[in-house]
Structure formats: C-alpha cells, structure tokens
Structure 1
Amino acid sequence: MIVPVVLAGGSGSRLWPLSRQHYPKQLLKLFGDKTMLQQTILRLTGLPDLGSPIVVCNVEHRFMVAEQLNEIGLSDSAIILEPLARNTAPALALAALHAKETQPESTLLVLSADHMIRDVEEFRRVVKVAADAASKNHLVTFGVHPTHPETGYGYIKTDKSSGDSEKEFKVEQFVEKPNLETAQSYLDAGCYYWNSGMFVFKTDVFLNELQKHSPDVVATAEQARGNAVRDLDFIRVDKESFAKAPNISVDYALMEKSSNVVCVPLNAGWSDVGDWKSFWDVSQKDLTGNSFIGDSIDVGSTNTLVFSQHKLVATLGVNNLMIINTPDAVLVADKSKAQEVKAIISQIENQARKEHLQHREIFRPWGCYDAIDDGDRYQVNRIRVKPGASLSLQVHHHRAEHWIVVKGTALVQKNDEVMLLSENESTYIPVGTKHRLSNPGKIPLEIVEVQSGPYLEDDDVIRYEDSYGRS
C-alpha cells in the first residue's frame, strides 16, 4: 500500500506578500480553483493501492488544512500537528511512526504540499517506477531533469553506469545550491538532477535507516508521538518532547549518509514555485513575456509579472519586473532579486509590523473576517460565517460591537437573550455582555461589525464555550 505523506509546514516567505506566515503558499490557489495542498493530493488519483494520506502541518494552520481536505472528500486523513518547526527529518519520522502503527507494511510517498507538476500522467508513471525501486528496499528520491543552470535548487549527482536504464540510478552525492558557473557545469555533465525533495521508501526501511544514521531524530519523534493527544480530528504532538528534536532536514539526517539511495529521473514539468521568478517561469505569458493575473492594464512592457488581488495595476514600458498587489501590501522588484524577498520580511519584522504574519483578511475555523477600516477608537470588519458554524461564546471588557446583517440569517445570543436577525437587521453588544454569533442557515452569513472602545486588539476576549477547542 502506498501511503502519501504530505509535508505542509512551510511558510513560503519568498512569495510574500501573497504568502504569509499564517496563510502560506500551500494553502493558496495559485494555479486554478484548487489550492496547492489540494492539487498535491488530487494528482495521485488513479494510483493503485493508495492509502489514506498523512498530512504534517503547523498547528496554526490546522483548521484550514482540515477544511481543504474535507473540500476534496478526504475526511479520513491523519493530520499531525507540529507544535514548532523542526525541519523535514523529525516531521517524516512522526509520519512514518504513525503509518507503521495504522497502515503496516506500507510504502511512503513523501511529497511537499507546495509543488507544481504540469504533466500529471507522467508523474504517476514515475511514482510507480519509484515504488518498484522501493520494493527492493532502496530509499528512492526523485531527481528532476534540469532544463537550465538553476542556482536556486540543490542537485543530486548520480552514477549513470548503475541502475536499470532510465528507471533508477545510484546516488553518488547530494550537493548544495551552486553558483551559476557550477550549475552550468552540472547541466553539461548530464548526470546531475535537481533535488525535488520528494521520496518513496518502505516505512520500516526508512525508520531502520534513520535509526542507524540519526537515532536522536527517531528517539525524539517516538517520545513526542507517545505523548501526543487527540484534539478533534488532529494528532497534537507533545511540544516539550518535540522541542528536543534536532532541527535537521531528511537530506542531512539520512539521505546524504545512507549508501542505499537511488534516484528516479522525473521529467513532468516540476517546479517548487519557491519565488515569484519561478512563478513567472511556469505562468502563461504573452508574446513579449508578460504574465498578467488579476485586474491590470499594460502598455509596452516586457518580461513582467503582475499579480493583483486588489485594485487595478497599470504598467507602462517596464521590463523584467514583478509587481504583486494585495489588499494591504504591494511588492515591486526586479525578477533577478526574486530570492532576496526575505530581506523585505526582515525589515518588516525589525519595524514590529505584521504584514509578514497574516493578510488583512483573517481566517478562523468558523469563517473569516476582513478589517476594512479603522481609526481612533473604532474598527470596521466584514465577517463571514460558514453555514452551521458558530463563533465562541465570549465577552469583551474594552469594546462594544454593532452587528448589521447584510447576507443570510444570524442567530445571536446576548446573555440570556436569543434572537434571529435577517438581512438589513442589526443589534448592539454592550461592553461586558456575554455573546455569540452563529449561522443556522444553509448559505454563508455576512455581517458588518463596527467595534468601538479604547482597546480593540484580539486579545480582549474571554471564551466560555468554543466548538473548536480554543482556550
């Protein structure tokens, strides 16, 4: 049985301002009407003997991950929550230990949740080749055929004289991201592949090899999982135990140390979409190399990317630019600087701003809200509540709230009073009133909320009841 293990814990910081720490690229719809996480799992459809997926994600993203899996009919997936980031080796160890217990004799197909693959049929074919190689007790990695001297990827050096024709080659060496001259020499040599970060191996083979080369990773993962608790549909790993795990990638912890690694070549239009330059590379372009996504107008520009979620973007005679427009931030950069976007995030952090953490629209397990206006002692939010969902029963000590229903039906609790509000009806929540907002209907509920008071931060809340286990 092939068990997909989807690593969904990254932050995608080089795709800022679209990708944020609390809403990273794997949860975004960058290509089509499905998120990258959903596409990662859906492209496996049709593979034989496919088991239930295991998704490893950041604890802060758990509700969005669960909702996205439910949207594609995967309510039986295991969602393992990392309490803090410890790189791919500890995350994979957690997943492998779970698979060993719940799906014995399994073969793990390890995927990143934020990769794009154009030729899905070819990808499935290569997965079958890799699974066959894994059945021989190999650790299998996918090596992507390089199409140009890329400096943003690590490389895999293979022994072309080994293996079975084009099916698999013995791995000689994993190498770090090279400079341009070195990358060109790798391309010319013909035995180097881009390191995709995707793997296939038997669960027991992986755990045995990891125990041999990095026993501390296995030990801490066993302890963290042994002390884990069930939280709704999630497996919440023990934070204190997991904090002791080394912060190390599976390449360093295992793949570079083992003599049992083979590479299966992949030529299926793969990209890790790691920055806006790589996004432009895989996007549809006009005859002058421009890619315009969203509301935009252009006169005479070349080789330029415009991605606009909010407001019209007009370009005139520019070249080689990336212009990313979101409701609360705009990035304008030369494409040659695509991998240096993290420097912008460092500046944001140094100024104690929040634009690297979350969007203006904030997602919650019950829906979302958008802070559309604010000023001295007031804030205006547009709130959307999913059908059947409820906010927590709560109290604020520093702010009052006015709610105006603009779509759907609201069930409102104020202390011991319960009322139904329809479109164009409103209510007032005084300071100190215990209250709750619910959507009893079949369509999304939308309200406009006006908060007023001397302190309007999110931490002015005391929860008495919550459907989602939040304190």
Structure 2
Amino acid sequence: MISPSAYIVPVIMCGGSGSRLWPASRTSMPKQFIKLLGDLSTFQAAALRVSAPGVFLRPIILAGNDVRFIVADQLAEIGVEAHIVLEPVRRDSAAAVAAAACYAAERYPDAVVVTLPADHVIEDQFGFVQACQKAGEVARTGAIMTIGIRPTHPATSYGYIKAGTCIQGTDAFRLDRFVEKPDAETAVTYLNEGYLWNSGYIAFQPDAMLAELETYEPDIVEAARAALARAKTDLDFVRLDMGAFQQAPKTSIDYAVMERTSKAGVLPVAFAWSDVGNWDLLWQAAKKDVDGNVLRGRVEILEASNSVVHSEGMLTAVVGLDDVVVIAQQDAVLVASREKSEQVKDLVALLRTKKQPEADNHIRMYRPWGWYQRIDFGPRFQVKRIYVKPGGCLSLQKHYHRAEHWIVVKGTAEVTVDEKVLVLHENAAAQIPIGSVHRLANPGRIPLEIIEVQVGSYTGEDDIVRLEDSYGR
C-alpha cells in the first residue's frame, strides 16, 4: 500500500460567476458548470483530470452554497466522488485556500495539495498530471509551487510570472515576480523576456501554506480554522460556519502569500491551456469550422468568419460579419466585437446597476430537485415549466398571494394539498388554493414535468413559506 504522502490532494475551486461569458454564464449557473465546449462542463473535465489512479486522492471541492447541488449532480454524472466543502460567503481565494489547507491537514497531513480553478481547458492530460507530480516533488521540500504556462502569444487577459534562479536538481525556478494583466505593448515585452502565464495552480504541503498564511495574513487562518471547527455536515456537504468564515479579510492567495513569501517557486510547462475567461478566449480554445467559426445550437451563417455564434433554442442567423460574438439565450441576446469581449463584464455591472434580473439569473433556475423555467408572465399571472428528477421532492410550502394550477405533461406526480395526497398521471391536474399547504414530488423512475400556472396579486419567488424541506433550505 502506498503512503498518502506519495499522493496529491486536488482542490477544485468553484468560485466566481464568469460574468465575461454573459449571457451564457450568470450567477445562477456560472461558466464552470456550463457545457460550452463539448459534452462536459469545465468543472467536470477538471474533476476527471484529477482522477488519475495512483496519483490523486479524493478531491476536495470548494463551492458556494447556491451551486452545491449542481456540483453534486455533475460529479454523479461522471462518477466522481469528492469532499464538497461549502463556503457560506465569498471571501476571495486566500480564505478558500486556507480552508482547503485546514481540511486537508486534518485528513492527509503529509500529502501535497494542488489547488486548481474549475474553469480551465487542458487537453494534455498526461502533461497536466506530470506537471502536478513535478510541482508536488518540489513542494515536499517545503516550497510553495505554482505552475507557469509558457505563453504562445502576447495575451492581455492573463497575469504573468517572472521566474528567477533554478531550484537545484529540479525543473523548477524560484519565483521572482508576479505582474497583473498587461496592455498589448507590455505583453509583447513579457513574451520576449520569457515571462510565464500565471495559471492559478498552486502546490503545497498543508502545514507549509498555513505557516505562511499565519505569517502574512493571520486573520485569514484564524477565520478558516474556526469555520472548519464549527462546520456542520448537511447531507453530503460540509458547511463552513458563516459567522467565523466571514471574518476572513477578502484577498487573493497571490496577494496574501505568493507575492510575499520567500518559499515561492514556479514550474514552467508548455501544454496548451486556457482559462476561457471571455468569449475571445473561448473562440481561441474551441474547435472551429473551415471559416474559423465556433457554432453551437440552431445557427445559420452566410459570409461570416472567425466568430462565435451560440444559440439556445431560437434560430440565430448571422450574415456578412467577421470577428463577432453573437450569443442568443431565451431571455437575452449579446452582440459584441470579439476583440472587445473583455468588456462584457462591464456590461453586466451596468445591468446590475439598472436592476435587470437577466444580469444574474437565467430563465431556467436549477434547484436540488430539478429545475423550473418561466414560460410567460404578466400582471397577476406567471406560467412555468417544472422538471422534477426521479425521487425529487419540492419543499412543503404555502403562498399568501397566489393560487397555482398544475398540469402533468410527463411522468407521475405525487401532490399534497393540505390533508389530501393525490397521485396524478399525464394530463391530470391539481388546484392549489391561496394559503394551502402543498408539496410536489416525483415518486416514479422517469422525470416528472408539469406546467404551473400562477394567478394572484404577487407571483415573486419570495412568496414561499417553507414548512419542511428535504434539502435543508
């Protein structure tokens, strides 16, 4: 049996909303969980990437509370088991790394931890695993290692790293300098001077990282330790304590440790890599047709090239445009210059100031039991399509301002209305009067789909009084 100290504990960081990839990526379903480049989300690809037998231990997933069931469902879909640790509030990457280091120290104190973002694209599985192993070997000497990508072009969307002197007996170097995203002219200079892209991957022994955090940011370590000590287990999730965790100062792990520690090193690697941070980077990473277009969904183009055109549902046609981004969702459409796609983040910020709900919420909202999607709405009414997974069960609830009418279109529904429990099949219906205590469940083996018509003076989601919930909401 191999000692755990010879293994690597992968920590997949799932924070961030990916607003530069709006409207496909939003807070309710961030980019790392969207299948933008194939049959897997980048989160699923990352989880499979760290499943190499004999190299990695069971991964630790750091995620927000709102996406916990998306994480669990996507892991189940690919057959990967993990420790899922929930951050109650966002405190940036330093607090997340501190929590992961504390969690790993309790379970695998002698192993090496490698943190990795959930939204990266890496096709070279062998090269990635080999890089983790090499960085891990240096980390076992007490170094805190990052993986630097050899640039292929003068990118302005990535941070850069300058390597220093060679670490004797290894392929790694001491880390000399971090720099932020440069302008185009500076990026060319960095490329010529041998700088590396900052991948965001960090390898360390738990105690080594915690010691550096204690030196430079003791409040973060104190908050992380207290949050883990007071953590509660909820279903398959470990919930960090909110009161303790929110005391951690907000800062990145680069600012907190990597730019200040004398133990930092960097391992240069040359495999193809992208963080798919905006639509232009997605275009660069994706497979293209003969005209250089990246197309997805119901799309037709004529005399267009080097563009990204995605459509969800509706037919989207593009004529005579080059180097553009056209993203058509059911409730929002983005048309932008591919060159200016970094500015989509600023657009989302503007939408938030104007309180546009589409800035953060998709028309389809995912829940632990399935999802719902708004079909139509107006004064005093709303129509939804509701999908419930086999075995799924909505909360026992009531509403003060609306009545509901449910029509089963697929599967079998178990409907509770006050003291009555009904089993309904396709084309059957149930009436839910205002104020009635009710619940919807799927007792069958196939998905349940219903059409819900809400009628009343107010149909907002905050008119839900939950009396009992299987998912701890």
Output one character per residue of 1:285-325: Cα deviation in whole Å (capped at 9) or x when no partner. Answer: 22332221111111111221101112111111111110111
2:36 is the counterpart of 1:30:
yes
1:130 pairs with 106, 124, 135, which one? 135
Aligned to 1:177: 181
CA deviation profile, 1:82-135 (whole Å, cap 9, x unmatched)? 121111111010011011112221210111011111211211121111111112
Task: Identify the match of residue 435 of structure 1 among 438, 443, 455.
Answer: 438
Letter in 2 for 1:32: G
**What's the CA shift for 1:164?**
5.4
Secondary structure of residue in 2 paired with 1:33: coil
TM-score w.r.t. structure 1 length? Answer: 0.96
Select 1:114's aligned residue among 115, 119, 130. 119
Contact 2:48–2:80 (CA under 8 A) maintained in structure 1: no
Task: Say if 2:381 and 2:453, in contact at 8 Å, map to a contact too.
Answer: yes
Give the corresponding residue for 2:23: 17
Q: What does 1:16-415 correspond to in 2, within 5 Å?
A: 16-75=22-81, 77-159=82-164, 161-163=165-167, 167-190=171-194, 192-415=195-418
Verify the 8 A CA contact 1:166 1:265 in the aligned structure 2: no
Secondary structure class of the residue paired with 1:310: coil
Tell me, in whole angstroms, the C-alpha distance in 2 between the residues paired with 1:78 and 1:92: 15
CA distance in 2, matches of 1:200, 1:344: 35
1:208 Cα deviation after fit:
1.4
State the secondary structure of the residue aligned to 1:117.
Answer: coil
Classify the secondary structure of the residue corresponding to 1:136. Answer: coil
The 8 Å contact of residues 47 and 124 in structure 1, kept in 2 or not, is answered as: no
Contact 1:220 1:244 in 2 (8 A): yes
- What is the TM-score normalised by the length of structure 2? 0.96
Rounded Cα–Cα distance in structure 1 between residues aligned with 2:409 and 2:373: 14
Q: CA deviation at 1:148?
A: 0.5
Could you tell me how far apart the structure 1 residues matched to 2:470 and 2:80 are? 21
State yes or no: 1:444 paired with 2:450. Answer: no
Indicate yes or no: 2:14 matched with 1:8.
yes
Corresponding residue for residue 4 of structure 2: none
On the 8 A contact 1:120/1:268 being kept in 2, the answer is no
Can you give the 5+ residue segments of structure 2 that lack an aligned partner in the other structure?
Answer: 1-6
C-alpha deviation, 1:69, in angstroms = 1.9
* Paired residue secondary structure (2:362): coil
Q: In structure 1, how many angstroms separate the alpha carbons of the residues matched to 2:225 and 2:51?
A: 31
SS of the residue corresponding to residue 341 of structure 1 reads: helix
Question: How far is 1:138 from its partner?
Answer: 1.3
Give, in whole Å, the separation in 2 of the partners of 1:359 and 1:107: 38
Once the 2 structures are TM-superposed, how far is the Cα of residue 225 of structure 1 from its aligned partner?
2.0
Q: How big is each residue's C-alpha offset from its partner over 1:426-462, in whole Å with a ceiling of 9 and x where there is no partner?
A: 1111111111111001110011111111111111121
Report the Cα offset of residue 70 of structure 1. 2.3
Once the 2 structures are TM-superposed, how far is the Cα of residue 166 of structure 1 from its aligned partner? Answer: 7.7
> How far, CA to CA, are the matches of 2:343 and 2:441 in structure 1?
44
Say whether the 8 Å CA contact 1:348–1:356 is kept in structure 2.
Answer: yes
Cα separation, 1, equivalents of 2:296 and 2:75: 26
Is the contact between residue 407 and residue 447 of structure 1 (CA under 8 Å) also seen in structure 2? yes
Moved more, 308-317 or 281-290: 281-290
Deviates more, 1:28-37 or 1:12-21: 28-37
CA RMSD in angstroms, aligned pairs only:
1.4
Q: Which amino acid aligns with 1:2?
A: I
Partners of 1:267 and 1:425 in 2: how far apart? 60
Percentage of pairs with the same residue = 46
Superposition deviation, residue 342 in structure 1: 1.6
Cα distance between partner residues in 2 of 1:90 and 1:40: 21
Q: Which amino acid aligns with 1:238?
A: D
Q: Relative to structure 2, which stretch is displaced further, 217-226 or 252-261?
A: 217-226
Q: Quick one: structure 1 residues 165 and 336, their matched pair in 2 at CA, closer, same or farther if it must change by over 3 Å?
A: farther
- Count residues with an aligned counterpart: 467
Counterpart-to-counterpart distance in 1, 2:309 and 2:237: 38
Residues 1:468 and 2:471 aligned together: yes
Q: Following TM superposition, by how much is the alpha carbon of 1:49 offset from its aligned partner in structure 2, in angstroms?
A: 4.1
The alpha-carbon distance between structure 1 residues 187 and 42, as it changes in their structure 2 partners (threshold 3 A), is same
Secondary structure at the counterpart of residue 358 of structure 1: coil
The whole-number CA distance in structure 2 between the counterparts of 1:203 and 1:165 is 23
User: Is contact 2:172–2:266 with CA below 8 Å preserved after alignment?
Assistant: yes
- Greater shift, 38-47 or 87-96, is seen at 38-47
Extract unaligned runs of 5+ from structure 1.
Answer: none
Look up the equivalent residue of 2:174 and give its one-letter code. K
Conserved in 1, the CA contact under 8 Å of 2:144 and 2:264? Answer: yes
Displacement, 1:223?
2.0
The whole-number CA distance in structure 1 between the counterparts of 2:170 and 2:315 is 49
